[in-house]
Amino acid sequence: MLFGASAGVSLALIYFIDPASFWIALPLTIILLLVAERNHNLTMIHIRESKLLELSQRFKLAMDSSNIGLWELNGDDACYLDGRAAGLHGYPTTENEFSLSRWLEAVVPEDRIKITDFLTHCTQGEETHSEVYRVQLRSGELRYLRAAGSNYSTADGARHTSGIIWDVTSDMQVAETLKNSVYSSHVKNAELELALQELSSREHDLMELSRRLDFALQSYNCGIWEANLSTDHSYWDRRMHQLYGLDYTTGYTDRATWLNCLHPDDREKASADADRCAANNEPFSSIQRVLLQDEEVRYVRSVGSIHIDRDGLRKVIGIAFDITADVRLADELKAAKEEAEARNAELIEAKSHIEHNALHDPLTGLPNRRKLDLELDYLTSSPVAAGRARFAILHLDLDRFKQINDTLGHAAGDATLARAAELLRLNVGDAGVIARIGGDEFVILISQVTDKYIVTSIASNIIAAFQHPFDFQGFTCRCGVSIGIAFGDAQDNDARKILINADLALYRAKAMGRNRYEFFTQNLQAEIVNHKRTADEILAGLEKGEFETWYQPQLCARTGEIAGMEALVRWRHPTRGLLTPDKFLGIAEELDVVQALDRLTLQSALQDRRLWSLKGLEIPRVSVNVSIRRLHDAQLLESLHQLYIMPGEVVFELVESIFLDDSDEQVVQNLDQVKELGIDIEIDDFGTGHTSLISLLRLKPKRLKIDRQLVMPILGSPQERALVRSIIDIARSLGVETVAEGVETMEHAAMLKDMGCDILQGYAFAAPLPAQEFSAYAMQQELRRVS
């Protein structure tokens, strides 16, 4: 600028002195002015860049020293985490571009809904929000992170959502430590006060204890003695003198006086016991006979142990007491033993009778389970087993026995069992051993089977015999029998395993309709093995995350818009592919893991729904199936509170046949509290159970879901069409919505709409879809609606 001013003055002088030279110098001067201005601007830019660089370095140093990371949402399902933020989540610091799902994978499952809600709040305004959540690292470490962020606009008007993340694990631990310290302080103060109270009363307690001890020793006439091993002198109290028939004077005595009081035959042993105690530091224990003046013999037991006092003197301190009565009692017992041995023959006979009762059922007189086990062991382990051929086990269970026992009483049940035992004796005879192993179960062991026909003949005759009714106190009773049969080889098999096979065959006979017999086969064994394998794979699949949540849309019958979705569990089996619930749900119920599947499905559905909400896709509600065991769970409400469920967001589908007439107090209480949380109740498979209208009014569900077995035939069956129409009319009169599942064609949809059905679900619109495909389907439906 200074150069520019001086250049202007120079030009003015030139103009006045020589105007012609002025027009020659003017362009050169202008160029010089422009160069000066450019240099000045470059200098200012370098100064600003230096300041910005210094500020940037300070900011980076502050962020590095406090390990604060940056995050930013970059789209529907994309986000940016800088190196520090990625490292805090356990990811490589070089990995910065993430999806929301990948970010959430590092978050503890229980906190994922909380962090998605936090991100939703951040995208909705410029107010800053923050949230603490937990991250599970691969090393097993649990880390607490706090995230803060907001939505802001840049100079070009664009909106961005970003924030920071930092580690607050130590803060959480300090808070927990302070909490424990306050509690510990209160505890220690209470303990100190208690200790002072205890000290104030200890002296009194010691005096009381001494008095009680003296009273106890006096009541049992125990004497206290103390022998000084260095001087061979002893101190005896007054009761010691009395026990040994001596007069009490100073209380001191010596070894010779003690030995003179004993029976001559006992003196040598007593002296040896005392010497051994002193030499080996062993406890002293001795029984001596004391000769009193009237020639009476008294038995005295003395016990003591080595003690070293403060001066280092070795002493034996002990007590002595009169055991004369015990010795006399021992003599009496010896005499009684001799008398008992004289009656040994009677005892042997009684033992035989007892053993028979122990091995036989008192009601039927048949061998019991213990006797059967002995027979089975003998069958396959005795030397004669080598000479036997095949054997057969028939496992029998009475049909309708429980009804007889429950309706006519235990006396009728006992009569039924006694009759069953008699029928078995008549039809088995000497061919095998019959045993009652418990309840209404019997087993027949045929130890030698040369022809399968013999076994089938016995089984057929037994079934035919049980078909005849019998009379009990004027009542006609009928009781059938189901039989499972298994064969074994006495040389190669454990007979108890064959009993298990017979039990499996019995299970098959009952499943096939009862009042029949079935043989154990390798196919049956394979079914059992496959059943167990599937059970093991279900447990492993839960641990490995093989179960997925799929969704089927539910559409409004009037507008065609998506009114909700049903969440359905699917098993991504590693070798068998995708499995529907009918392939594994029955076994899962036996394993008692249906509750875990229900909980997993609900958590996944809530997480997916909220992720879709971040993308702008709003699904009004999600319906999930809930098992009867989940309704019996006393912790159900606590687990639901942890999911932050919004009112109207979730619908529980309950199967009609298992809950409407259930009067279990826990189920009723859980249903009431579930409604209070804003969770709607929907009756699934309606029309296939036996629900009464009174039960329906008592439950007050939000919707009835008409079973597909009634919906699918309505196009060609007037009967099903009228039934579906009646269900819709009843629901409408009660103020309850209706959902039709199994809508296979658009003709079904049109007819159900005309009937007044509210919501439609079925393959006419979409099959169950995985989360990503359902999201795409729902987006397409939304675009069609808008356009």
Query: Are both 54 and 71 inside the same structural domain?
Result: no
Mean pLDDT for 209-235 is: 73
Q: Is residue 172 part of a domain?
A: no
In a domain, 527, yes or no: no
Q: Which helix (H) or strand (E) holds 680?
A: strand 680-686
**Based on the domain organization, do 425 and 453 belong to the same domain?**
yes
Residue 52, in any domain of the structure: yes
The count of domains in the chain is 5
Q: Which of 205-209, 549-553, 715-719 has the lowest mean pLDDT?
A: 205-209
pLDDT class for 241, splitting at 50, 70, 90?
confident
Per-residue pLDDT of 555-568, as tens digits, reads: 999 999 999 999 99
Q: Which of 292, 437, 309 is nearest to 363 (CA)?
A: 437
- pLDDT at residue 199 in the model: 52
Neighbours of 741 (CB within 10 A): 22
Whole-number pLDDT of residue 215: 59
CATH assignment of the domain containing 138 = 3.30.450.20
Phi-psi region of 689 (alpha: psi -120 to 50; beta: other; left: phi over 0): beta
User: With 90 as the cut, is the pLDDT of residue 395 above it?
Assistant: yes
Residue 385 has pLDDT above 70, yes or no: no
User: Both tokens of residue 448?
Assistant: 């030698």
Cβ pair 119, 133 in contact under 8 A? no
Q: Which residue has the higher pLDDT, 641 or 43?
A: 641
> Tens of pLDDT along 52-91?
565 455 555 556 655 778 888 887 678 888 888 888 888 9
Structure tokens at 331: 């003599």
Predicted TM-score of the model (pTM): 0.48
Burial profile 304-342: b = 16 or more Cβ within 10 angstroms, e = fewer: bebeeeeeeeebbebbbbbeeeebeeeeeeeeeeeeeee
pLDDT of residue 2: 43
**293 has pLDDT over 90:** no
CB 552 within 8 A of CB 766: yes
Q: What are phi and psi of 482, to 5 degrees?
A: -110, 140
Q: Distance (Å, rounded) from C-alpha 630 to C-alpha 592?
A: 10
Domain residues for the domain of 425 are 357-520
Other beta carbons less than 10 A from residue 82's beta carbon? 17
The DSSP bridge partners found for residue 623 are 566, 651
Token pair belonging to 364:
């039927």
Closest C-alpha to 619, from 631, 635, 608, 603:
608
Residues 596 and 468 reside in one and the same domain: no
Q: Residue 16: is its pLDDT beyond 50?
A: no
What is the number of residues in the chain?
787
Residue 242 is predicted with a pLDDT of: 86
Give the pLDDT band of residue 7 (cuts 50, 70, 90): low
Q: Among 688-692, 705-709, 762-766, whose mean pLDDT is lowest?
A: 688-692
What's the pLDDT score for residue 748?
A: 94
Tell me the percentage of the chain whose pLDDT exceeds 70: 81
| Whether residue 93 is found in the same domain as residue 52 | no
Do 553 and 432 share a domain, yes or no?
no
Percent with pLDDT over 90 in the chain: 33
pLDDT band at 661 (very low <50, low <70, confident <90, very high): very low
Q: Do 111 and 152 have their domain in common?
A: yes
| Cβ proximity of 669 and 679 under 8 Å | no
Mean pLDDT computed over 744-750: 95
Q: What is the mean pLDDT of residues 334-343?
A: 84
Amino acid at 742: G
Tokens of 114: 């909380």
The reported pLDDT for the residue numbered 48 is 67
Residues 418 and 450 in one domain: yes
Q: In this structure, is residue 420 part of a structural domain?
A: yes
Please give the pLDDT value at position 191: 64
Please choose, from the candidates 771, 709, 785, 699, the residue with its C-alpha nearest in 3D space to the C-alpha of residue 77.
Answer: 771
- Pick left, alpha or beta for residue 281 (phi over 0 → left; psi -120 to 50 → alpha; otherwise beta): left
Bridge partner list, 738: 704
* One domain for residues 413 and 434: yes
Q: Which residue has the higher pLDDT, 339 or 575?
A: 575
Domain check: are 36 and 92 in the same one?
Answer: no
pLDDT at 381 over 80: no
Cβ burial of 532 (10 Å; 0-12, 13-18, 19+) is exposed
- Are residue 371 and residue 508 in the same domain, yes or no? yes
